[in-house]
Amino acid sequence: MQKKYDFLIVGAGLYGAVFAHEAKKAGKTCFIIDKRKHIGGNIYTEKVADIQVHRYGAHIFHTSNKEVWRYVNQFAEFNRFTNSPMANYKGELYNLPFNMNTFNKMWGVITPEEAMQKIQQQRNDSYVDYPRNLEEQAINLVGLDVYEKLIRGYTEKQWGRPCHELPALIIRRLPVRFTYDNNYFNDPYQGIPIGGYTAMVEKMIEGIEVQLETDYLADKTYWDSVAEHIVYTGPVDAYYNYRFGVLAYRSLTFDTELLDTDNYQGNAVVNYTDSETPYTRIIEHKHFEFGTQPQTIITREYSVEWKLGDEPYYPINDEQNSMLYAKYKQLADVEPYVTFGGRLGEYKYYDMDQVIAAALCRVEEVLRET
Ligand code: FAD
Ligand code: UDP
């Protein structure tokens, strides 16, 4: 018997929205459900006191993928925001990512050669050819002082474990530059959608039915009966009722305040890189859009241990969890009529542009098969 919809999209986040948009464009019928009260998943923004608040942490769109950049520009106009976070280490302020401004402030060096020499000196005793963990990788890259002041405390708060137990690849996300350039990303395209991410997602899923506050897994049999194909963007282990064990995540809590000042910290993102400050960073939302409102909204972000039932934010792609994920992936890959996608469905530390690229690739495949 023909089912009512071609696609049931579980999750109104970016992956689900892109998939649904493309499927609808191809003439397919879609229905979207999400267990949250809103669309957008983790990129959800909400206007408060005339300021777009990033409810699930700072989201800066950046990409090297021209196609993806063109793609998102169909749904929003992007402003010229360039992420240049500051690091506050016990009241000392440094520019991020690690660049000549950082090295100048740290050591007083002026030229790239002096900076390289200083790093060379600092890593002399500790250099390892093949860094096995984040600590070794960080010291190789930027030396001991930068590691101690800007990396160790922040990373250990962020991940809740010592740097020598963390994979080296986490720190390789950050550029190290010998130019005076505070752009956090190397990508040629960057910005924040004017009007917020929620409006962008709304536009993507225009004309598609959405039902919020609806948990697919609470009534899976029913939901499976409404569509020919399921696009599942929730946690893959939850789909299989944790039969091999629970995949680990890092979770976050956010403490948001409306303040009666027009400018609290002078920058959108300030990281607190010491070990003692309990939060990892403070976001001042209006600076993402060069806001001139009379008030401001700040959010302190705390990284917390995750347990089942908490919001899963960061997959922990260490060896143990990667092995566990591989078992689930084996099942997911042969599941007929189900696509597992996105940060939770694929258990990947995906940025927004990667999520879009993955969804575009997968929807094309599925449409070809149907
Ligand atoms: P999600 O946004 O998590 O969407 C999944 C949706 O599925 C959720 O809405 C959830 O409620 C729903 N769902 C789950 N299970 C069920 C169920 N059983 N039934 C119904 N619905 C369900 N990327 C960048 O490019 N730049 C950044 O600056 C950036 N900053 C980030 C900061 C933080 C703090 C975090 C956590 C992530 C950041 N990212 C950033 C990554 C970005 O958030 C993700 O790439 C993107 O949001 C992932 O989209 P998604 O659709 O895969 O997942
Ligand atoms: N990091 C750091 N100090 C900082 C900012 C980042 O040591 O001030 C490290 C930390 O280990 C973090 C990693 O760099 O997990 C990647 O940072 P990024 O900003 O890319 O993290 P995300 O955007 O995913 O929160």
For the chain, list the domains and their CATH numbers.
5-39+205-247+314-369 (3.40.50.720), 97-171 (no CATH)
Indicate if the pLDDT at residue 124 is higher than 90.
no
Alpha carbons 347 and 329: distance in angstroms, whole number: 9
Q: Which residues are catalytic?
A: 173, 177, 250, 281, 301, 349, 351
- Count of residues for the chain? 370
Indicate if the pLDDT at residue 97 is higher than 80.
yes
* Predicted local confidence at residue 125, as pLDDT: 76
Exposure class string for 106-145: b at 16+ Cβ within 10 A, else e? bbebeeeeebeebbeebbeeeeeeebebbbbbbbbbbbbe
pLDDT by residue (tens digit) across 287-345?
Answer: 999 999 999 999 999 999 999 999 999 998 788 999 999 999 999 999 999 999 999 99
Q: Which helix (H) or strand (E) holds 53?
A: strand 51-54
Instruction: Check pocket membership of 277 for ligand 2, CB cut-off 6 A.
Output: no
Alpha carbons 310 and 256: distance in angstroms, whole number: 19
pLDDT by residue (tens digit) across 191-246?
Answer: 999 999 999 999 999 999 999 999 999 999 999 999 999 999 999 999 999 999 99
Confidence class of residue 283 from pLDDT cuts 50, 70 and 90? very high
Instruction: Check pocket membership of 11 for ligand 1, CB cut-off 6 A.
Output: yes
Ligand 1 mean position, distance from CA 304 (Å)? 17
**pTM for this one?**
0.96
Confirm if 349 and 355 have CB atoms less than 8 A apart. Answer: no
Angle between the 100-107 and 134-146 helix axes, to the nearest 10 degrees? 50
- With vertex at residue 77, the alpha carbon angle to CA 74 and CA 83, rounded to the nearest 5 degrees, is 120
Indicate if the pLDDT at residue 274 is higher than 80.
yes
Indicate if the pLDDT at residue 172 is higher than 90.
no
